[in-house]
Structure 1
Amino acid sequence: MTQPNAIDEEDYDYESLPPNFSLIQNMAAGAFAGIAEHCAMYPIDAVKTRMQIVNSNPSAVYHGVIQSTYRIASTEGIFSLWRGMSSVIAGAGPAHAVYFATYEAVKHLMGGNKVGEHHFLAAATSGACATIASDALMNPFDVIKQRMQIQNSAKMYRSMLDCAKYVYRNEGLGAFYVSYPTTLSMTVPFTALQFLAYESISTSMNPTKKYDPATHCLAGAVAGGFAAALTTPMDVIKTMLQTRGAAQDAEVRAVNGFVAGCKLLYRREGVKGFFKGLKPRVLTTMPSTAICWSAYEASKAYFIHQNSQS
């Protein structure tokens, strides 16, 4: 079987959409990319969640990636670093399928696929539209994931389904979406920045837009790290809102939105509180986005090549 890199010799435009790359194939590529991205760096994401949680009890505060990883593994078991990953697997596939399908469709409609040209507006707009659609689907799964990542969650929830039932029974359906506006305040600029940076870097490195694994990997890593660093404050508030139901702190449990979360965090920890978990967030995001873009572009190249053969 001919490998994807052989498509460099083909005459068709790699970046074009139909008829070379159908919607179903696009969604399959996106689903594969999403699962690969989240699973690869999940333990670091668990550490980031612990570091971002606002807690008045000093013994429950986590500091540093290595120190936190050792503390979780030694007190709760090494496999606790992977608790909640089933929720990511269940949600990431469909959410990323919608994500990349929306991205490609909007970019195509805005004329962003022309070889040798880079359209900043098309890249940013397609990224923003993609994240609005995918986050609506992913947000409940993300809430479950973060609830299962908190300290001693094994005593509260046996499984993803058990956690979902517990949250719904005790906090209602709204608990799964209370963080959605805050999530969008983070992911819309994050995705717009990431796609803008990715398209800029990849176009600069690869003007012909042919399939090039090294370009996709490097551009994805740099774009992801850049966007993650700039949107960390919103991620901290999102974590607060998604884990508030399990908090022992009465003030944290009473937080009902982005503004209230910002006020509480600033009063408790000042400006530096908004950048808790910055290092593990960037450390997680850079390889994750590199894996995501590499997996997506490889799948995309494979499908286009297969379609051209038939």
Structure 2
Amino acid sequence: MATDQRKPLPFIANFAAGAIAGVSEILTFYPLDVVKTRMQLETGKGKHGMVGTLQSIIKEEGFGRLYRGLVPPLLLEAPKRATKFAANDFWGKTYMNLTGESKMTPQLSILTGCSAGATESFVVVPFELVKIKLQDKASTFAGPMDVVKTVIRKEGVLGLYNGMEATFWRHFWWNGGYFGCIYQVKAMMPKAETPQAQLLNNFISGSVGGFVGTLVNTPFDVVKSRIQGASKVPGVVPKYNWTYPALMTVMREEGPAALYKGFLPKVLRLAPGGGVLLLVVEFTLGVFRQALGPPYL
């Protein structure tokens, strides 16, 4: 059956493919995320670049520190990635129905990605908060549950959603860039005649999407790390509170370059990571199509 005529896979297939892809990606690239967070939490002029930060962590804290805070994102990756791809599928179909388009357009692909990112952000905030608290060099928490208990005791359950607004913008802009680029790059590439060529196309388009998404959303990620990394003091207004004012504060005090702290480890993770993500998703969906047979093929 022609690709544009085959029946869409059920929600559970998109959910499972996103989950498997997310876990694969995080196990491969997690240490870069720790390095990225450390660089973003460092105020003022950065003392270390990516390599210096990596060496400092290993030398002062041991190699295992590069995997500290792995449990929350690992638990999060399945629902997060699953939500990302399932929401992208849902919003894509919704916008195509609303506009009467029979195929995805560049404008709809960006709108769809942004909507999927906004949806995803509601799932990830508590997990991201716990991860940032554990990745901080000054962290004295015993583990994920210690963070959760401490935050709830001091700030209530809603404290776990500290940084919600910044997370919303981070995911909104990353997904818009990621999914928008995947569509554009795939359209520009020669048609894949073999499964190997299709895999290469997916990896290249996913990597380009990951790069552009990271370029667009890094300033929002820096602010999110600052908001979630800070300890709230009763009666004191946090220095970093709302996203756009915080962007201006960082730029005014540390210069525009500070908004791209951690960009190198972030892009080294998310560009090839975006490729790996799309590769695994497309491969897994292909397995589901084969297993379900016509009319999904």
TM-score w.r.t. length of structure 1? 0.84
| In 2, Cα distance between equivalents of 1:206 and 1:148 | 45
Matched, 1:146 2:136: no
The alpha carbon displacement at 1:158 in A equals 1.6
Q: 1:198 to 1:78 in 2, by over 3 A?
A: same
Match of 2:170 among 186, 191, 208: 186
Matched, 1:159 2:143: yes
What is the letter of the counterpart of residue 70 of structure 2?
M
Name stretches of at least 5 consecutive residues in structure 2 with no aligned partner.
none
The alpha carbon displacement at 1:303 in A equals 0.4
- Provide the residue aligned with 1:126 in structure 2: 112
Cα displacement string for residues 242-294 of structure 1 (whole angstroms, at most 9, x for unaligned residues)? 101289xx999543222442343233212221121121121111111111111
- Provide the residue aligned with 1:175 in structure 2: 159
The alpha carbon displacement at 1:230 in A equals 2.3
Cα RMSD of the aligned pairs, angstroms, is 2.7
| In 2, Cα distance between equivalents of 1:253 and 1:81 | 28
Matched, 1:297 2:294: no
- Provide the residue aligned with 2:32 in structure 1: 44
- Contact 2:177–2:213 (8 Å) recurs in 1: yes
Match of 2:212 among 223, 226, 237: 226
Q: 1:72 to 1:253 in 2, by over 3 A?
A: farther
The alpha carbon displacement at 1:190 in A equals 1.6
Matched, 1:92 2:77: yes
Match of 2:58 among 73, 76, 88: 73
Q: 1:71 to 1:15 in 2, by over 3 A?
A: farther
The alpha carbon displacement at 1:220 in A equals 0.4
Cα displacement string for residues 86-127 of structure 1 (whole angstroms, at most 9, x for unaligned residues)? 101111101221211111122234449xxx965112211221
Q: Secondary structure at the match of 2:141?
A: coil
The alpha carbon displacement at 1:16 in A equals 4.7
| In 1, Cα distance between equivalents of 2:5 and 2:83 | 18
- Contact 1:14–1:210 (8 Å) recurs in 2: no
TM-score w.r.t. length of structure 2? 0.87
Q: 1:169 to 1:62 in 2, by over 3 A?
A: farther
The alpha carbon displacement at 1:184 in A equals 1.9
- Contact 1:100–1:130 (8 Å) recurs in 2: yes
- Provide the residue aligned with 1:29 in structure 2: 17
| In 2, Cα distance between equivalents of 1:100 and 1:15 | 20
- Provide the residue aligned with 2:3 in structure 1: 13
Name stretches of at least 5 consecutive residues in structure 1 with no aligned partner.
1-10
The alpha carbon displacement at 1:131 in A equals 1.3
| In 2, Cα distance between equivalents of 1:190 and 1:66 | 25
Between stretches 102-111 and 267-276, larger displacement belongs to 102-111
Matched, 1:282 2:270: no
- Contact 2:73–2:131 (8 Å) recurs in 1: yes
The alpha carbon displacement at 1:228 in A equals 0.5
